[in-house]
Amino acid sequence: MAEMSKKEMPRTKGVVWKTLKYFFPIAWKFDKMYFILSVVNVIVGAALPFVDILLLPLLVDSLISPERDIPMILTYAALMVGLDVIVGLINSQITIHLEKYEDKFLNFQAEQIADRCMNIDFALTENKECLDQINKAREGKDWSGGIHGISKAFFTIIQNVIKIFGVVTVLAVSAPWLLLIIGALLAVSTLINAKKNKIEVKYFSDLANINRVLWYVTHEIEDFRFGKDVRLYGAAGTLISRTQQQMDRLNAFFKKKADERYPLDILDVIVGALRDFGTYLYLGALAILGKITIGTYSQLTTSGGVLNSSLQGAIFGLQDIVKRCNYGYEIVKLMEYPPMLQKGNREVPAIDRPHEIEFRNVSFSYPNTKVKVLENVSITIKAGERLSVVGLNGAGKTTFIKLLCRLYDTDEGEILIDGVNIREYDYDEYMKLFSVVFQDFRLLSFTAQDNILLGKEDSNETVDELFDKVGLLDKINSLPKGRDTMMFRQFDRDGVQLSGGEQQKLAIARALYKNAPVVILDEPTAALDPVAEYDIYCKFNELVENKTAVYISHRLSSCKFCDRIAVFSGGTIKELGTHDELVKLKDGVYAEMFSAQAQYYV
């Protein structure tokens, strides 16, 4: 397993500070009571050991005193037990209450990561480095313990520092050399723990990569959408085999990490034993020599234990919070992941009117490739125009739309809306200009109505009108719960699986509801026969009214009613004109395609 580079394994104060600076304001905004309880918990937890440290020597000396003042002994015992119970109960109740925040914060941060994934530039969803960062953020949330894990580590350090000041005062008076014994051996433990943490952080990046691959394979196995292919092509064995390979990698990963830590764990136990031996030997000698009483011996023994645990807690806590912040910083890096798209702030033209679109000498290659999918494409789509984009598979038709919708930016040239480069527009407002139904559209496992409204509120009549327009109303009304019937069965065992054509109509209804000034159909009906596709395109063409519309297909059923046809071939527009113009071009691409498909349109 290759070691992480220094760049991949940040351990500086800057990383800790950036992580705390990011997490603490979120926690404060999320629930201020969490911080109030944490501060109270620090005070109560720090006070708890001093009940025994202060009262234990008084009780022990009273017990061995010749006078044996029984009332005083009972008073000391009652105070110790009573204060231990009271302070302990308060401490445990606060701790229990704070632990309830753990899942709340983890779920909240999971939502943050999910929200970031949904809003990150689409081009980054195909970027390996970004995908790794997303997985590192998910892993970092769990490995760091999230907001609660980091906050708990921080407040534990504060609590231990308070304890240290208290017990050092006690030990400095009666057993100053004990401070040296504990300090020396603690320094060794600190070095051992630092090496352990280094091992943990070193392996973290590799684990994120293994888990990303493992998650993909197991997701394919569990996703019923792949059920037909798995069964028909006998893919189950391959998927199970690949899963086992990743599980073997994961097991080997943890074994290697454990093997590397094992000598350090053994050494840590030995150092702990030496520390305890030195403490009891030194204090025992003082007691035998009569320099301290038995009560003071018990006090110093307890103080030594508290000092050791507090010093370990503070130093290991600092190392732990550095480690946790390194993990948590992966979330910060995801939230601050640099965008791929240039985003302006110019106001978008009114969305209630058509807009002119211009591609000016546009060329494009997908990230990390050198193959030009589009090259020197130029075309102007007039406001309110119907444009049909045709061409064989791989001609660049869908890429043409992705660039227009700013899912990617052009490598060369520019795209303009109403004469303005689209990079200058406010990105979120710009996206409101388009209603698009892609070939690989997705419906959600929500109700039929929710798939239309997507969180907006509107009347049932409006939704039914859309269902009626796309020819889906009778089907929706026949469902068990009508428009409130769940699509698919992920959340409801009584959910309905619509046919491919019905899902396409639902997706088109969703596009119509958005009511954007530019509507685009990117081969969503490719699975249908040409006649059925033509019927849907014609009906949709009536519904878009005066909007600018782009219809994409490698078949020609969407062409004849359009104002113009752009013929893509080899990543550029080879021909542009009306159907009648293009079909007459000798040796033309369109004429050849039409001739091959003419049997379907006669």
Cβ–Cβ < 8 Å for 366, 341: no
Cβ–Cβ < 8 Å for 468, 410: no
How far apart CA 536 and CA 270 sit, in angstroms, is: 78
The CATH number of the domain covering residues in 342-433+520-602? 3.40.50.300
Q: Which long-range contacts (CB under 8 A, 24 or more apart) does 8-17 make?
A: 8/205, 9/201, 9/202, 9/205, 9/326, 10/326, 10/329, 11/201, 11/322, 11/326, 15/322, 15/325, 15/326, 15/329, 16/321, 16/322, 16/325
How far apart CA 305 and CA 276 sit, in angstroms, is: 8
More reliable by pLDDT, 127 or 299: 127
Averaged pLDDT of the chain? 82
Q: What does the DSSP 8-state code read for residue 363?
A: E
CA-nearest of 3, 333, 1 to 135 is 333
pLDDT of residue 235: 67
Containing H/E element for 361? strand 357-365
Neighbouring C-beta atoms of residue 60, cutoff 10 Å: 19
Arithmetic mean of pLDDT, 44-54? 82
Cβ–Cβ < 8 Å for 405, 417: no
Structure tokens at 496: 């309905």
pLDDT of residue 409: 92
Structure tokens at 338: 């640099």
Q: Is the pLDDT of residue 500 over 90?
A: no
Burial class (CB in 10 A: 0-12, 13-18, 19+), 430: buried
Helix (H, G, I), strand (E, B), or coil: what is residue 388? Answer: strand
Helix (H, G, I), strand (E, B), or coil: what is residue 352? Answer: coil
How far apart CA 441 and CA 448 sit, in angstroms, is: 15
Q: Is the pLDDT of residue 3 over 60?
A: no
- Which amino acid is residue 493, in one-letter code? R
Confidence of residue 4 (pLDDT cuts 50, 70, 90): very low
Q: Is the pLDDT of residue 567 over 60?
A: yes
Helix (H, G, I), strand (E, B), or coil: what is residue 550? Answer: strand
How far apart CA 163 and CA 50 sit, in angstroms, is: 8
Confidence of residue 557 (pLDDT cuts 50, 70, 90): low
More reliable by pLDDT, 58 or 26: 26
Domain residue extents for the chain: 13-335, 342-433+520-602, 444-515
Of 389-393, 458-462, 525-529, least confident by mean pLDDT is 525-529
Instruction: Give 192-203 pLDDT, tens digit per residue.
Output: 877 877 777 777
Instruction: Give 234-271 pLDDT, tens digit per residue.
Output: 667 777 777 777 778 778 878 888 888 888 888 888 87
More reliable by pLDDT, 255 or 527: 255
pLDDT of residue 217: 67
Give the position of tokens 């043409």.
400
- b/e sequence 403-415, b meaning 16+ C-beta within 10 Å: bbbbbbbbbebeb
pLDDT of residue 168: 80
Largest CA distance in the chain: 124
Say if 342-433+520-602 and 444-515 have the same CATH topology. yes
More reliable by pLDDT, 310 or 331: 331
Cβ–Cβ < 8 Å for 46, 313: no
pLDDT of residue 515: 87
The domain at 444-515 falls in which architecture?
A: 3-Layer(aba) Sandwich (3.40)
Confidence of residue 6 (pLDDT cuts 50, 70, 90): very low
How far apart CA 329 and CA 8 sit, in angstroms, is: 11
The domain at 13-335 falls in which architecture?
A: Up-down Bundle (1.20)
Cβ–Cβ < 8 Å for 380, 499: no
pLDDT of residue 7: 41
Arithmetic mean of pLDDT, 110-126? 86
How far apart CA 344 and CA 425 sit, in angstroms, is: 5
pLDDT of residue 471: 83
How far apart CA 357 and CA 51 sit, in angstroms, is: 78
Give the position of tokens 């074994």.
255
pLDDT of residue 415: 95
pLDDT of residue 212: 67
Of 76-90, 144-158, 210-224, least confident by mean pLDDT is 210-224
Give the position of tokens 């619509």.
498
- b/e sequence 282-292, b meaning 16+ C-beta within 10 Å: bbeebbeeeeb
Confidence of residue 528 (pLDDT cuts 50, 70, 90): low
In sequence order, what are the residues at sequence separation of 6 or more whose Cβ sits closer than 8 angstroms to the Cβ of residue 53?
A: 166, 167, 170, 299, 302, 303, 306
Of 3-17, 122-136, 283-297, 298-312, least confident by mean pLDDT is 3-17
pLDDT of residue 382: 92
Confidence of residue 9 (pLDDT cuts 50, 70, 90): very low
Confidence of residue 526 (pLDDT cuts 50, 70, 90): low
